[in-house]
Amino acid sequence: MIEAENLTRTFGSLTAVNNLNLHIDKGEVFGFLGPNGAGKTTTIRMLACLIAPTRGTATVAGYNIQKDPLKVRQSVGILTENPSLYERLSAYENMDFFAQAYGVTDLVERRKRIQELLEFFHLWERRNDKVAGFSKGMKQKLAIVRATVHRPPVMFLDEPTAGLDPQSAKEIRDMMAELSVHEKCTILLSTHHLEDAEKLCNRVLIMNKGSVLLVGSPDELRQKTNEKPMVEIALKQVSSKILKTLDGVMAAEGVKQQENRLLISVKDTATATPEIVRSIVAADGDVLAVNALKPSLEEAYLKLIKGGEKQ
């Protein structure tokens, strides 16, 4: 659905995006991760035909961004960091205005589409309220709904949870997950919030200073920490018998005790956990809880950004 080849944008002596190559499949939720100034927003603006690349090219929904910019704009929905809503208008009036601007000219079709979206995303009861009275989270929800009113096959969402409180951010994440399923569109999500990427994205691209550091799944990003996964086991009591038994368990590569909890390093939690639990029970251990712990996504992200190494 999106292909980019050597996409580059310079502003004077500053290279904001440097030779970006990208492939995003139809229906994929793809994340752009990176600190402020990494080049995420500039990339989205090029792909949405809001600015032209200095060199390189890309296709979006089958259209070349340089040869068919109008077709690209008609094929995408975009949420910028500023929701850009008309606050003196109601939610419905905003939707109606932007639907016409996007080319949804048939009145019956437009009314049906607006009602469908506002009802599905739980905004119908607020349709006649002025946007000026909405919370920041509500404005963000309406802006996302507005961006999909013309049924675009591609959505660009730039920092959709920035500045929101935890509850509002969760609502936006839930909405984006529903949007992917309900609208069956490809979503490119630009964010520096790791929780957004971890919960929503099939793959992520890590950028820093205009260059790509890594493209892969969130799990592949975790693997860059070079840390092993762990099994956390809470016990009624940790005895010397249990510790001695674990010394002989091949799957338990390292054991740390924290009061009545054991943190056990393993190669793979799925295969190691049953063997370890059976061994503890056989050593008369009373198991209260078992958790599989993955390496920290945040730690992996910070390691890549700090190191700046391309993968």
Domains with residue ranges and CATH for the chain? 2-223 (3.40.50.300), 230-294 (3.30.70.100)
Report the mean per-residue pLDDT for the chain.
89
- For 2-27, how does the pLDDT look when each residue is reduced to its tens digit (9 = 90+)? 999 999 999 999 999 999 999 999 98
Q: What is the mean pLDDT of residues 66-82?
A: 91
pLDDT at 282 over 70: yes
- Distance between CA atoms of residues 4 and 26, nearest Å: 14
pLDDT level of residue 299 (50, 70, 90 thresholds): confident
- For 228-279, how does the pLDDT look when each residue is reduced to its tens digit (9 = 90+)? 788 999 999 999 999 999 999 988 988 999 999 999 988 888 889 999 999 9
What pLDDT is recorded for position 124?
95
* Secondary structure letter of residue 13 according to DSSP: T
- Distance between CA atoms of residues 277 and 31, nearest Å: 37
What pLDDT is recorded for position 84?
84
Contact status, residue 187 vs residue 30, Cβ threshold 8 Å: yes
- Distance between CA atoms of residues 145 and 163, nearest Å: 19
Q: Is the dihedral of CA 255, 303, 216, 196 positive or negative?
A: positive
% of the chain surpassing 90 pLDDT: 62
pLDDT level of residue 311 (50, 70, 90 thresholds): very low
- For 43-56, how does the pLDDT look when each residue is reduced to its tens digit (9 = 90+)? 999 999 999 999 99
Range scoring the smallest mean pLDDT among 33-42, 231-240, 295-304: 295-304
Q: What is the mean pLDDT of residues 297-306?
A: 76
Partners of residue 17 on adjacent β-strands: 9
- For 170-198, how does the pLDDT look when each residue is reduced to its tens digit (9 = 90+)? 888 888 888 888 888 899 999 888 888 88
Q: What is the mean pLDDT of residues 92-120?
A: 94
Which helix (H) or strand (E) segment holds residue 71: the answer is helix 69-75
